[in-house]
């Protein structure tokens, strides 16, 4: 007798919404990599003050990760999505109307808090809306959408700031006309505001099924956090996520400034393109990594990928202009597999409370606040190149994971050897 297929209703409009949310999260998060030089020049900032801007964004991510989990247990998806998009729209519009360093810092912190809430909501939504049997495929698709947004965000920046190339474009001219003439990049936040309010309307008038969380998705109570924080593996993997996000953003945030400062390359053209290629290669690397994980133990992949990343970083920082333009995207390619491997090793290293562990690990995103800030501070004391060499330290810690990780379950691999 033929087995019946699972009777799972799929909500395609909600899958589309989740993909849009992934796109928006990536777009808003990674646009900082492109605009950092313009922000520095517009507000006449030191490297330390410049580094404080991604600090405000990513520290909000870290602070809100666990509280966002508790909020998701108490309020509906419609309420949290609507509230997040409304706050994002107001915060973005507020900066566009009152552009200044202080307001920008507050805006970035507010956006970071909203991003954390959205991240907690969308994975359970994707599982239910797309059907559990399609969750793995949809998750990979979401990562591609996320990577695609990172790749495209520098081009929106180029479109809005390169006045010579689109001086006759009425849309670009209109958006630039809404912000001070010396801050054309601030018009990006007009765009973010419009997108947020459009999504607010879409979310508010949509219909939603009941989203039941699995045990692994549930936040857990305070006792589960206490138990996990007594476990050395929790702390080690938290530090690993902290180091990864810090290294990723420590490279991405300073690409344009490095190319401008050491090679005299225009941040609005070559710099933006290189940032885009960095994220494109990171996305391609994720797909390649998925394939490799079917055949090779994840710890071995982590060791090789991290060692090559360190080598690429050293050559990029010390080599010629051509090497730098190739090196930064290559770093993106080889760094790409680290996050998913670290996260899976962490979850496979504890027996229970996986939902709470995920919350703790997500607070490690605060590494994207601290490490780029350290790079900027060291760049102020010495120079930016010396500051970026600091990134070898978090990468070295990630390299060590491949040697000391002892997961309870190893990733399943396919043997290419034929059984005799």
The reported pLDDT for the residue numbered 3 is 44
Asked if pLDDT for residue 7 goes beyond 50, the answer is no
Asked if pLDDT for residue 13 goes beyond 90, the answer is no
Distance CA 385, CA 38 (A): 19
Confidence of residue 292 (pLDDT cuts 50, 70, 90): confident
The reported pLDDT for the residue numbered 388 is 97
Lowest pLDDT segment from 148-157, 275-284, 381-390, 401-410: 401-410
The reported pLDDT for the residue numbered 181 is 87
Confidence of residue 136 (pLDDT cuts 50, 70, 90): low
What average pLDDT does this structure show over 180-190?
Answer: 92
232-252 vs 12-42: helix crossing angle, rounded to 10 = 60
Average pLDDT over the chain, rounded to an integer: 87
The reported pLDDT for the residue numbered 217 is 57
DSSP state of 185: G
Asked if pLDDT for residue 144 goes beyond 60, the answer is yes
DSSP 3-state assignment of 2?
Answer: coil
What average pLDDT does this structure show over 101-129?
Answer: 88
Confidence of residue 357 (pLDDT cuts 50, 70, 90): confident
- For 101, half-sphere exposure in the C-beta direction (CA atoms, 13 angstrom radius) is 15
Superfamily of domain 12-402: MFS general substrate transporter like domains (1.20.1250.20)
The reported pLDDT for the residue numbered 416 is 57
Tokens of 271: 């710099």
Which has more pLDDT, 363 or 9?
A: 363
Closest CA to 185 of 96, 280, 76: 96
Closest CA to 226 of 360, 110, 327: 360
Ranges of each domain in the chain: 12-402
What average pLDDT does this structure show over 242-271?
Answer: 94
Distance CA 220, CA 238 (A): 18
The reported pLDDT for the residue numbered 2 is 42
| Percent residues over pLDDT 90 in the chain | 50
Distance CA 348, CA 297 (A): 13
Distance CA 347, CA 343 (A): 6
The reported pLDDT for the residue numbered 132 is 66
Confidence of residue 417 (pLDDT cuts 50, 70, 90): low
Confidence of residue 298 (pLDDT cuts 50, 70, 90): confident
What average pLDDT does this structure show over 110-139?
Answer: 80
Tokens of 295: 């055949």
The reported pLDDT for the residue numbered 18 is 87
Task: Round the CA-based radius of gyration of the chain to a whole number and report it.
Answer: 22
């Amino acid at each position: 007798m033929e087995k019946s297929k699972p009777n799972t209703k799929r909500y395609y409009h909600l899958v589309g919404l989740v993909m849009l949310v992934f796109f928006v999260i990536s777009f808003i998060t990674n646009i900082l990599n492109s605009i950092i030089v313009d922000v520095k020049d517009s507000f006449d900032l030191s490297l330390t003050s410049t580094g404080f801007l991604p600090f405000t964004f990513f520290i909000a991510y870290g602070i809100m990760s666990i509280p966002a989990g508790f909020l998701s247990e108490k309020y509906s998806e419609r309420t949290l999505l609507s509230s997040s998009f409304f706050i994002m729209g107001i915060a973005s519009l507020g900066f566009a109307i009152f552009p200044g360093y202080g307001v920008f810092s507050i805006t970035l912190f507010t956006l970071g808090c909203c991003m954390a809430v959205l991240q907690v909501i969308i994975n359970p939504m994707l599982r239910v809306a797309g059907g559990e049997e399609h969750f793995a495929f949809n998750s990979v698709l979401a990562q591609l959408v996320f990577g695609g947004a990172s790749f495209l965000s520098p081009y929106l920046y180029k479109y809005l700031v390169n006045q010579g190339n689109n001086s006759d474009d009425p849309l670009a001219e209109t958006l630039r006309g809404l912000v001070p003439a010396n801050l054309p990049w601030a018009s990006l936040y007009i765009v973010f505001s419009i997108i947020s309010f459009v999504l607010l309307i879409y979310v508010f008038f949509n219909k939603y099924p009941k989203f039941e969380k699995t045990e692994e998705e549930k936040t857990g109570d305070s006792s589960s956090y206490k138990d996990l924080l007594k476990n050395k593996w929790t702390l080690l993997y938290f530090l690993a996520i902290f180091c990864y996000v810090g290294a990723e953003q420590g490279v991405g945030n300073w690409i344009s400034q490095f190319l401008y400062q050491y090679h005299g390359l225009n941040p609005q053209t070559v710099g933006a393109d290189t940032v885009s290629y960095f994220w494109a290669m990171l996305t391609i690397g994720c797909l390649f990594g998925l394939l490799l994980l079917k055949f090779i133990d994840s710890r071995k992949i982590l060791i090789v990928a991290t060692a090559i990343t360190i080598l690429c970083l050293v050559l990029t920082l010390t080599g010629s202009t051509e090497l730098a333009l190739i090196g930064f995207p290559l770093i993106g390619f080889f760094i790409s597999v680290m996050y998913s491997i670290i996260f899976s090793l962490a979850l496979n290293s504890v027996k229970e409370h996986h939902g709470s562990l995920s919350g703790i690990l997500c607070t490690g995103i605060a590494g994207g606040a601290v490490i780029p800030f350290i790079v900027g501070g060291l760049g102020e004391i010495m120079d930016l190149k010396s500051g970026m060499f600091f990134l070898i330290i978090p990468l070295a810690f990630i390299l060590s994971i491949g040697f000391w990780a002892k997961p309870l379950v190893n990733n399943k691999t396919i043997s290419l050897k034929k059984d005799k």
